[in-house]
Structure 1
Amino acid sequence: MKASAPKPKWSDVSAMSSTTKSYWAQWDSLLIQDGVLCRKWENGRGDSCHLQMVVPKAKVPDVLQLYHSGCSGGHLGVKRTLLKIPERFYWVHCRDDVEEWCRKCKSCAAVKGPQIRSRGALKLYTHNVGALWERIAIDVAGPFRESESGNKYFMVVMDYFTKWPEVFAIPNQEASTVADKLVHEVFCRFGVPLEIHSDQGRKFESQIFQETCRVMGTHKTRTTSYHPQSDEMVERFNQTLERYLAKVVEKRQRD
Structure 2
Amino acid sequence: MKQSVIDHIQSCVVCQAYNTSQQKRLGFLHPVPPPVGPNQLIGIDFCGPFPTTPNDNKYVLCLTDYFTKSVTAIPLPVCSAQVTAEAIFKDYICRYGAPKSIISDQGTSFKNQLMFALSQLLGYNHILCTPYHPQSNGQVERCYGTFVGQIAK
1:148 counterpart SS class: coil
Match of residue 155 from structure 1: 61
Of the three residues 118, 122, 137, the one matched with 1:231 is 137
Match of residue 218 from structure 1: 124
Structure 2 gaps of 5+ residues are 1-30
Match of residue 182 from structure 1: 88
> Is it true that 1:138 corresponds to 2:44 in the alignment?
yes
Structure 1 gaps of 5+ residues are 1-124, 248-255
In structure 2, how many angstroms separate the alpha carbons of the residues matched to 1:152 and 1:201?
17
In structure 1, how many angstroms separate the alpha carbons of the residues matched to 2:46 and 2:144?
9
Deviation at 1:230, TM superposition (A): 1.1
- 5 Å-filtered alignment, 1:77-116, equals none
Deviation at 1:126, TM superposition (A): 4.8
In structure 2, how many angstroms separate the alpha carbons of the residues matched to 1:228 and 1:157?
15
TM-score (norm 2): 0.78
- What is the percentage of aligned positions where both structures have the same residue? 33
> Which structure 1 residue ranges, 4+ long, deviate > 6 Å from structure 2?
none
In structure 1, how many angstroms separate the alpha carbons of the residues matched to 2:53 and 2:131?
32
Q: How many residues align?
A: 123
In structure 2, how many angstroms separate the alpha carbons of the residues matched to 1:207 and 1:234?
23
State the superposition RMSD in angstroms. Answer: 1.0
Deviation at 1:128, TM superposition (A): 2.0
- 5 Å-filtered alignment, 1:20-169, equals 126-169=32-75
Matching residue's letter, 1:169: P
Work out which structure has the larger RCO, using CA pairs closer than 8 Å and 6 or more positions apart in sequence.
2
In structure 1, how many angstroms separate the alpha carbons of the residues matched to 2:90 and 2:34?
27
Give the number of the structure whose alpha-carbon radius of gyration is greater: 1
TM-score (norm 1): 0.47
In structure 2, how many angstroms separate the alpha carbons of the residues matched to 1:163 and 1:190?
14
Matching residue's letter, 1:131: G
